[in-house]
Structure formats: C-alpha cells, structure tokens
Chains A and B, each alone.
Chain A
Amino acid sequence: MSFHCIACIKAAALKAPAKGMKKNSDTAQMNPFDRIALALAVNVARSCGGMITALSMGPASCSFVIYEAMAMGADKGILLSDRRFADSDTLATSTALAAAIKRLAPFDLVVFGARTSDSDTGQVGPQTAVALDLPLVSGTFDFEWKNSFFLAHRKMDEFRETYEVTLPAAFTIHPSSITPPDIALENIETAWTKKIAFWSLEDLELRADQVGLEGSPTRVISQKMAARKRHCEFIEGSVEEQAEKFVRKIKEKGII
C-alpha cells in the first residue's frame, strides 16, 4: 500500500512578538509537537511505502520549517505564504490549511501535532478535519496497517483505544508517540537542494475575508512570556516515604 500523508507543521514562536521582530529561525522553531507527528508519519511511510508532504502557513522567513521537515523525511514541502494570511486565528488557519489540503488531493492521512508550544489551543487539527469533512482520531500514538484496513491506536489519560479508520482521515498525534530521531547531516544538505512551493491566497481559491484578521472571529490582544514562579519544597521522611509523597504530589498536579 502506498499512501500520501500530509503533515501540518507550524513555526512556533520562541519569543513573544515585539515590534519589528521577524519570525525566523532565530525567533521560532518547528513546533515540537508537530515534529513528533511528522516523525511518526515518516516512520509509517518508511514501513509501507508512502510519501509525505509537509504543509505550513507562515511568512517566507519561516520556510526553514519546511526544509527541516524535508531533512526529517518529508518528500515535498509547501508553504502558504501571503501577507493576507497574517494574523489568522485558529479558524482562519484551518480554513487556509483545509483549502491547501484539498488542492493536494488525493491524500490518505493528514497529521497534526497535538497542540503548539506557543499557543496551546489544540484546535487547528480538529477544525481542519471538520472543514474537510474528515474523520479525526485525536491523541493517536501509533498507526497499524492491516491488509485491508487501517488502525489508529489512541491514548488519552489512563485509556488506550484502537480505532479502525476509513481513509482519508485526520489525526492529532500524542506527544508520547515517538522520539523524533536525530537528523543525519547529509539529509540537511539534500533537503536544502530541493525546491519548496509557495502558495498564495489565489492558489487556494479563497477570498481575502476568509483568512487573516478579517477571517478570524478571535484575536490576540497581547502576548508576553509568562514569568515562571519557582519554589522549592522539601519532602521529609525515609527514602520510600519521600518517593511516595513525591509521586502523590506530581499526580495531584496532573503531571503524571
């Protein structure tokens, strides 16, 4: 079975936006959750002979995420880049991504990171699936290709679920799914010799009022780095008691 997988990736901000600051490889990185989704897709593609398109929306200065995706194993890359896409919220972003994905048909899988490191909404994957009228399995941590059907294993809190999925379908990938492998130096060199496609509003056959600020029902008024408060707490008791108390504490906080 050879399939086409589209991996949606975002250049996530590393710093809060400031006046005159450009989003580029110094101020942004491939969203770590998308890196996991892409790595899982690459694994599946390697094992059953599929091909992967990396898709991102952002200014041209963010094309580095597409090249990075190609260095990780994506076969081709597309950047949705148009001034009129600027300031899109999650809905407008999903509208643009859905239009691009339609243009990339036929496809079998569309994968998204579970969320982003810079806005954490987790909405873009599900919204895009809705816009495309695709079934969605969230929290997927592994795929399995049976001869005639496709299984998605899902992980949510304490539960594991297995879904039989009819393709094409969309998936958000669980952060614990896979550790993205290290990139071989040669692959970086090769990725940068490839051409990536830049698609504008016209290429997506969308109207200007469907994207950007105009197409966004929500807007971000301000964004700044959160000041993280650290505090130190001593746990008393024997080693076993300390371990017990520590585990209880991090469970209460929802860390595990």
Chain B
Amino acid sequence: MRDYSQLQKEIDHCSKCGNCLAACPIYGELNIETAGSRARVFLFSQFLEGNLEVTDKFAEIMSLCLLCKNCTATCPNGVATDKLVMAARREVVAKKGLPLIKKTIFHHLLTHNGRLNLAARFLNVYQRSGLRWLARKSGILKVLPGQLSEKENLLPDMQGTSPFRKEFPKLNPVEAPKKKVAYFTGCMTNYVFQNTGRAVLGVLKENEVEVIIPDQICCGVPAEASGDEDTFLKLAEKNVRFFSEYEVDAIITDCPSCGLALMEYGEKLGTEQARKFSEKVKDITEFLVKDIELKTPKGSLPLTVTYHDPCHAIRGMKLQKEPRQLLKNIPGLELREMNGANQCCGSAGSFNLSYYDLSMKILDKKLNNIEKTEAQVVATACPACEMQIGHGVRKKNLPQKVVHPIELLYEAYQSK
C-alpha cells in the first residue's frame, strides 16, 4: 500500500459529528448511513488501520460519491472526503482492476486523440444521418439493457461536424495583444459543445487577447475519478509537455473539472515544469473579470438568466462571483438566483451513467429550483453540468435553454 500518512492525519480530524450527512446529496436521496460522507471517511480509516479489506461492498460505497465536495464545505474540520474517495477507488483498481468498459475507454480512447476523433465521427454520423431518429422512432433503443435508451439521450446533439480543435488553427493572433493565453479546450468542448469553444475564442478576440490552442489530450479526470491513476498521470505529463512549448500569461479552461485537475498537475507530478504549468491555470470567467479589463458589450441581451454553480467551480476552483460578474456585465441581462444554486446537479462525470436513477433524482431538485425562477436561460460554466441539466430540460420539456455563460457574452458582443 502506498504512503497515506498525510491523508490519515486529515482523517484523524473527523470527529464523526455527522454535519456532512445533511450536505451529502447521496445521503439525502438514499437516507441511509452507508450512503453518507461520514461512512466513507470511517470505512477508509478502517481500511488504513487494516481492519477492512477492499471488497465489492467497499467499492460500491466508494463509488456512490459525486465528488461534489459539499461535505468538505460543511465539515467543521475540513475533512476532504473526495480525496479519500479517490484514494479508495485507486485501491479498488489496484486490487480488482478496472471494469472492461472503463479500461477500454481510458486506455484506448482517452489516451489517443485519433481514436477519440474517430469515435466522435461515428457518433456524429449516428446523430445526423437520421440513424438516431430511426433508432429512437423504431423503439430499438428500448430493447437495450438497463436504461440505455434514456442514457442515450444524455448526449445532446453535437454542435459541429468536426472536433473543435480541427476547426481552428493553433495560433489565433490579434493586433497588439493585451495578453496571451493557451486554451485547454477539454473533450466536451472539443467534441460536443463546440459553440462554447467558438465563444471563448470570439470573446478573447474581442478583448484583444491572443489565443494559442496547443496540442493536448484529455485532462485525465475520468480516469482519476475511477481510480486509474496511471492513465491520469500519463495524460497529465503529456499535457504539461505540450503546453510548456509556449510562453503565455495564462492557461485557460472552460470546464472547472478540467481546470481543477490541471491546477493539481503540479502537486501530483511533482516536477518544476508541472508546477509552473499549474500556477498559470485559470477558468475563462476568472481570467476575463480579473486579468483584463473586460469590454462591456455595446448591444444588449434582454434575457432572464439563472446561474447554476458547478461543484468544481464553486468548491474546487472557488469561483462564485466571477461567472456572475461576467453575466452582470451584459447590458439588458437580468440575473435571477435560484434556490440551492450551489447544489450538485448529479452529473459527476460518469456517475449519471452508473447510477442513472439516483442521478436523475438529484437532478430533479435542481430542475425544480430552475423552474421556480421562470428564467429563460440556465447558464453554467461547466460542460458536464450543461449536459446533465440539458438532458433534464429536454426530458421534462422545460422552456429553458442551457448554455455556458461565455456564450451569452459572445452573443452580446455580436448583437452590436
């Protein structure tokens, strides 16, 4: 077993007070001690003390976690349950290996852009050729096991026929640049939400920022969250190498899960180069409102917008004001807060695939709060949340549009 003394020290601070129970969305839904954050902390401490082995039950309890950090935010003693859950998942993988499907994805897809591009092309063809329409209409999806037919709907229509990074050149210069950034696009923007990427580029151009889109590869979060640390480190190392070729003021992301992972490369890889890389990482919303003088759009966007805080933005990168400030900068736009804006939407990477029903129950609470605002648009600065909330909105036939806030700003710039 690896050296867990640092984690052990943190866990020792758990007084088992149970404060985190009220904060844990999974405990809230399942109403059983074994589903709460306190259980995960206690079981991992028992594992460290040698009283417990890695078993299927252990794996299950550790897999029932959204890594949403809500427990940590309410813990009087700052116990980072998500960290120990990831450590526990690593132990599960070390002992039992990865499930075949994840192994295929992590080892063969995520680590090879070419293969991922190809898979995306297939999907794109499936969605555009009428095959999806046919599949849905014919009821063929219904014979898929589990809720695959509903899950198939999780993936929205892709917003481009080719990956985003193929659509734009590596170098996007502007005259007399005020700043120079490298853009880590993340897989979701690259393959699904190309509009977000277009908006990021458009907004930066408008603000006279030069953008480089270096070669890059998946940030590694899906692998890490599933306990596949080797793959994570491999990907991290590659990204650091790719980005270190350029001298820039900041490395920006539009996905806080990627962002948080990139920020932790330094600590996890432990090299000087990685540390330098991590220090430069910033969310696009933070960069815009803090690092430059953001131009106020001339045109107006008369929309009511409600904002959902992604877990990894508000509790990970600690971004709460920045995306709101960005929205408030748009003339005509009314920001209408929902209840529980900072509560997890239930997406959590592939959690919504593994535990679809549970994830949908957590999402339902979010959708109710969204509905109550009667806003026209839901903005959220995370593609995974966008996908999850978008899925809910489509399923429930709600009127709201779901977008990344940067898209609204871009739209405002264009409507001069």
Q: Bound pair: A and B?
A: no
Residues of B within 8 A of A (CB): none
Residues of A within 8 A of B (CB): none
